[in-house]
Structure 1
Amino acid sequence: MTIDALKHRQLMTEEISDLIISHEKVAHVQLQNPLDHALLILIKSGYTAIPVLDKDYRVQGQISKNEILDSILGLERLEMERLHDITVESVMNKRIPRLKTDATFAKALTTSINHPFICIENEEAAFVGILTRSSILALIHHYLQQSK
């Protein structure tokens, strides 16, 4: 086996722990927050989607600007006055990618193909942070530059 093949195998089996953005640094909302609060967090953070957590800080889904806007889309206009009356829980996406902290880089790479971020949980299913597709791509780029 060549040195490059060994490096490739090592990268793919490496754990993702060094790439995780800690939960303290991740914008999020909770299930019972009104949509106006979620939209404010999304706008201020600059993200298009953020995790939704329950009161025990376990991941329940994610909310995006598109889901919020779809929920207030009336027949002739956006019904902005409804933002405060609708909860995050009622419109969030519950089918989101999740990985455990000990997942391999290969699993994270495959999971990230269709998602801008992956929620990371510990063995007790508590929210640890997120893994972004951009951090995965940055590591691949760094690896490829070193292989030249």
Structure 2
Amino acid sequence: MTIETLKNRPLMNKEIHDLIVSHEKVAHVQLQNPLDHALLVLIKSGYTAIPVLDKDYRVQGQISKTEILDSILGLERLEMERLHDITVEAVMNPKIPRLNTDATFGKALTTSISHPFICIEDEYEAFVGILTRRSILALINRYFK
């Protein structure tokens, strides 16, 4: 099966609604949260990165364990005492993938190649949830079985 054949399959034009993990179930932090709170959420959730939202629940970026640890890395040790003094906004990555709720599976598949999750927004740019690479791969697996 060639790529051109796949592009014309119904799967690639399927909408992503059924694959979205609802915002109520997604661990996230807000811009002004201190890094100690973000690190706690990351550890408790088991994720390596989570979305960062503003007060209106619009996606502003993502924060990861790596970004947090890099921000407190001193010359000879991790400066853990700094975690409470630094905000999520100061160290988050604002360049993250986003799709609208009406995006096709093909667009989600292409976007997921370099990202473990994609933030999904509605037409008003409000956070709807995430689409995980895992859910995309699971659908492909079911499709080809």
State the TM-score, normalized to the length of structure 1.
Answer: 0.93
Inter-partner Cα distance in structure 2 for 1:144 and 1:9: 12
Which residue in 2 is equivalent to 1:63? 63
* Structure 1 residues 88 and 6, CA gap change in structure 2 (3 angstroms): closer
Alignment of 1:130-145 (within 5 A): 130-145=130-145
Give the AA of the match of 2:116: P
Q: Does residue 95 of the first structure (1) align with residue 69 of the second (2)?
A: no
Inter-partner Cα distance in structure 2 for 1:7 and 1:90: 41
Q: Does residue 127 of the first structure (1) align with residue 127 of the second (2)?
A: yes
Identity, in percent, stands at 84
* Superposition misfits of 4+ residues, deviation over 4 angstroms: 5-8
For the aligned residue pairs, the C-alpha RMSD in angstroms reads 1.3
Unaligned 5+ runs, structure 1: none
- Give deviations 1:2-54, integer Å, cap 9, x for gaps: xxx69961100000010000000000000000000000000000000000000
Inter-partner Cα distance in structure 2 for 1:45 and 1:133: 17
Inter-partner Cα distance in structure 2 for 1:60 and 1:37: 17
SS in 1 for 2:9: helix
Alignment of 1:1-148 (within 5 A): 9-145=9-145
Inter-partner Cα distance in structure 1 for 2:31 and 2:73: 21
Inter-partner Cα distance in structure 2 for 1:47 and 1:6: 32
State the TM-score, normalized to the length of structure 2.
Answer: 0.95
Inter-partner Cα distance in structure 2 for 1:90 and 1:138: 35
- Give deviations 1:80-133, integer Å, cap 9, x for gaps: 000000000000000000000000000000000000000000000000000000
Q: Number of residues paired by the alignment?
A: 141
**8 Å Cα contact 2:6-2:12 kept in structure 1:** no
